[in-house]
Amino acid sequence: MAINAQRKTVDGAGDVEVLSTPAEKALMARITRFFVEAIKELSREDKTAALQARDDILVVIETVARRPAEASPKYAAKLRGALQKQRLLETEGGVIGPTEVGKLLGISRQAVGQRRSTGKLLGVSIAGGFVYPIWQFTDGENVEGFEEVLAALAEHDAWMKLVFFLNHNQALGGQRPLDELRRGRVEPVLRAARLYLQHGAA
C-alpha cells in the first residue's frame, strides 16, 4: 500500500513525513495522545534520561518504560528488560558481526560460528543474527582466560554470561570479571563463575 505523505521540518527533529490519509491521521492522533500523556507524567530526570537514548526507537522505549501510570506493569517490565539488553550490547565498545570477528581473528565467518557453537566465543542472538561483544578480544585473540570462564558458565544463556562479565561481583571484591581478566587474574574469575553457576548473579 502506497503511503501518501509530504515532508516538513519539525523543530528538533529535522525532516519528517506528514501523514495525509484518514487512517494515517487517525493512527497518528492516537499515538500522539498516548505519548503526550506519557511525557507529562515523566519527572524531569526521566525526561532527560529518555532524551539521552542513542536513537528514536530507544527514546520511545525509554519513555514508555519510565511512565509511572503505565497500564500494564508486565509490559513495562518487558520494555525495561529490552533496554537493559540494549545497554549490555553497547557496553565496552559495543558489538560486531561475524564478518568483522573473522577479520579480527584471521578466520572465516563459518569458523566464527563454529567457535561460538563450541563455547569459545560469546555471541548473542538478535533479530539480525549473531553479534559479538568486542570487549572479549584483545590483540587479535580472546582476552586471556576468557574461554575457560565461558566453559565454567556453559549452563547459562548468552545474556546471563554478558551480565556476569560486565557486572560488579561480590566474589571479586566488587570488581567486574572482565576487568579482572584484563589484569590477568583468571583463577579468581573462574571461582566467581562457578559460584555464579551455582547461585546465580553474585
Domain end among 89, 116, 150: 89
User: Each residue of 10-24: pLDDT tens digit?
Assistant: 455 555 566 778 888
pLDDT of the residue at 62:
76
Looking at the fold, whether 84 and 97 belong to one and the same domain comes out as: no
Q: Is the pLDDT of residue 9 over 50?
A: no
pLDDT at 80 over 90: no
Residue 157: per-residue pLDDT? 93
99-109 mean pLDDT:
95
105 and 147 fall within a common domain: yes
pLDDT confidence of residue 182: 96
Neighbours of 162 (CB within 10 A): 21
134 plus 181 within the same structural domain = yes
Asked if 104 and 174 sit in the same domain, the reply is yes
**Are residues 83 and 113 located together in one domain of the fold?**
no
pLDDT at 1 over 50: no
Residue 84 has pLDDT above 50, yes or no: yes
- Shared-domain flag, residues 179 and 114: yes
Residue where a domain terminates, one of 89, 105, 126: 89
Which of 89, 112, 141 is where one domain is finished? 89
Number of domains in the chain: 2
pLDDT of 65 above 90: no
pLDDT at 156 over 70: yes
If asked whether residues 84 and 102 sit together in one domain, one would say no
Q: What number is the average pLDDT over the span 60-66? A: 74
Residue 165 and residue 175: Cα distance in Å, rounded? 10
Q: Going along 44-94, which residue ranges are E strands?
A: none
DSSP 24-39: HHHHHHHHHHHHHHHH
Mean pLDDT of 114-126: 94
pLDDT exceeds 90 at position 174: yes
Domain range for 59 is: 5-89
| Same domain, yes or no: 98 and 67 | no
- Say if residue 49 is in the same domain as residue 111: no
H, E, C per residue of 139-151 = CCEECCCHHHHHH
pTM of the shown model: 0.66
DSSP state at residue 118? T
Q: For the chain, give the mean pLDDT.
A: 84
Phi, psi (deg, nearest 5) at residue 14: 70, -155
Question: Do the bridges between strand 124-126 and strand 141-142 make them parallel or antiparallel, or are there none, so unpaired?
Answer: unpaired
Q: Between 24 and 134, name the one with better pLDDT.
A: 134
Please indicate, yes or no, whether residues 119 and 152 belong to a single structural domain of this protein: yes
pLDDT at 81: 79
- In the predicted model, is pLDDT for residue 100 greater than 70? yes
Query: In the numeric block, which cell numbers belong to residue 133?
Result: 561483544
2 pLDDT above the threshold of 90: no
Average pLDDT over every residue of 140-156: 94
User: Does 111 lie in the same domain as 66?
Assistant: no
| Dihedral angle sign, alpha carbons of residues 67, 70, 72, 73 | positive
Residues 40 and 84 reside in one and the same domain: yes
The grid coordinates listed for 94 are 559495543
